[in-house]
Amino acid sequence: MSTRRIKVDYLARVEGEGALDIQIRNNILEDVKLRIFEPPRFFEAFLQGRKYDEVPDITARICGICPIAYMMGACHAMEMACGVPFPDGVIRDLRRLIYCGEWIESHVLHIFMLHAPDFLGYPDAIKMAKDHRELVENALKFKKIGNDIMKTVGGREIHPVNVRLGGFYKAPTRSKLNELKAPLTWALEFAKTAAEFAATLPMPEFERDYEFVALSHPDEYPFNEGRLKSSKGLDVPISGYDDYLIEEHDEHSTALRTRTVHGDRVAMGPMARYALNHEKLTPQAASMAKKLGLGANVNNPFKSIIVRAIETIFAVEESLRIIERYEESDSPFVEVPARTGTGYGATEAPRGVCYHRYSIDDEGIVTDAKIVAPTSVNQATMEQDLLHYIPPRIDMDDDRLRHECEQAIRNYDPCISCSTHFLKLNVERS
């Protein structure tokens, strides 16, 4: 009997730190543990005692890649706690527009810089650029357009400063938004090229029966609004999140894990959004999904890269639609006076549903806070994927198995820093 160990200090091309332990005995997979070991940052604890209008700016610091998800979720929850209806008109449009920018910059980063090298056999995007220079340069140009949207609406692309409860401190001028039209028109054509490129990548044959969970809106592909739905019948308002999805601690991870009240694991992110909302895609995004043969569901997690590409087409189309109909406003926000209450908010971060719950007193002081990042929900689902994915590949040498497992984890574009409220790999064979 022999024991083999593989140790990879950090998983490359994800945000944050973690490890994967695989136990194989007598050529049989016994256990898989995805360990997130990044130190907890205690955002929920130090929000308590802060003023309610500080929360959007504080939570934006949870992530530099998806700050809008946190800012919007915080705004929605606080507005609900204060009894303020969801803003409509210009404010609603600008919230969707800035979210388009975040999806573009995050999805393009993942598709081309973090994940495509896996499929093409490159160790990183720099090496990939030697053979695919034009593709990588255009991807960087596309990502910058997403950043430019966030800067135009939010004041800057990382941790925007123009977002506030009730809307925005200042609305952009129509002429400023019009400057984005030409770049976005170019981006729409490249986004379609990117989707076709993603569909040519070699995909492992691997499918699972997921319970997908995402926001669902009757009229549009979701960003900021909608009910919480699942592919297995869940349909509740956001205030019902805690009644169905339960957080629990696992000794091998600093991120809390999520299960349903029935003990099952769920999957969030692009595949979930697509499964529950694909009929609400914009015309060219829907046309491309049909052209690439995606159907009504995508159950192969490796094909999530294609769904992300479809979502970038949607985000560009939606951006152009909003800009085309934009009317300048002297009232870019509504007042949100404090009152005692509890509010719930959820938005669709690039990686899935980002959930917020806050309680405040009559002076607007936060008395309780809960934030759930989608990566912490998806963590157990990643482990389940590997439990099914590894056995047919168990005879691979350790280097190849390590690469395959890392790629399977990167399907979820995990944001590990967000989830600690990867990859160090150990394979034990005996």
What pLDDT does residue 255 have? 61
Class of residue 144 by CB neighbours under 10 A (exposed 0-12, middle 13-18, buried 19+) = middle
What pLDDT does residue 7 have? 45
The answer to whether the pTM exceeds 0.85 is: yes
**Calpha distance 210→388 (Å, rounded):** 13
**Calpha distance 249→360 (Å, rounded):** 26
Interaxial angle between packed helices 89-108 and 133-154, expressed in degrees from 0 to 180 and rounded to the nearest 10: 150
Reading the block at residue 349, the tokens are 């971060």
**Calpha distance 307→272 (Å, rounded):** 10
**Among 200, 100, 92, which residue's Cα sits nearest to residue 142?**
100
**Calpha distance 218→102 (Å, rounded):** 23
Tell me how crowded residue 397 is: count the other CB atoms within 10 A of its CB.
Answer: 9
Low-confidence ranges of the chain (pLDDT < 50): 1-13, 417-423
What pLDDT does residue 44 have? 84
What pLDDT does residue 2 have? 45
Domains with residue ranges and CATH for the chain: 54-377 (1.10.645.10)
Q: How many Cα neighbours within 13 Å face the side chain of 46? A: 9
What pLDDT does residue 428 have? 66
**Among 294, 301, 422, which residue's Cα sits nearest to residue 20?**
422
Could you read off the pLDDT of 36-64 as tens digits, one per residue?
Answer: 655 566 788 889 999 999 999 999 988 87
Reading the block at residue 383, the tokens are 């482990």
**Calpha distance 258→7 (Å, rounded):** 27
What pLDDT does residue 169 have? 96
**Calpha distance 59→104 (Å, rounded):** 21
Run of H or E residues at 345:
strand 341-349
Could you read off the pLDDT of 174-207 as tens digits, one per residue?
Answer: 999 999 999 999 999 999 999 999 999 999 999 9
Length of the chain: 430
What pLDDT does residue 16 have? 52
The per-residue b/e assignment along 96-132, b for 16 or more CB within 10 angstroms, e otherwise, is bbbbbbbbbbbbbbbbbbbbbbbbeebeebeebbeeb
Q: In what order do the strands lie in the sheet with 227-230?
A: 213-216, 227-230, 235-236
What pLDDT does residue 203 have? 94
What pLDDT does residue 15 have? 52
Could you read off the pLDDT of 324-355 as tens digits, one per residue?
Answer: 999 998 899 999 999 999 999 999 999 999 99
Class of residue 14 by CB neighbours under 10 A (exposed 0-12, middle 13-18, buried 19+) = buried
Tell me how crowded residue 399 is: count the other CB atoms within 10 A of its CB.
Answer: 10
- How does strand 245-248 pair with strand 235-236? unpaired
**Among 127, 131, 105, 125, which residue's Cα sits nearest to residue 113?**
125
**Contact of 236 with 283, CB cutoff 8 Å:** no
**Among 227, 200, 201, 205, which residue's Cα sits nearest to residue 216?**
227
What string of DSSP letters covers 238-278? Answer: GGGHHHHEEEE--TT-SS-EEEETTS---B-SHHHHHHHHG
Reading the block at residue 8, the tokens are 């990879």
What pLDDT does residue 43 have? 80
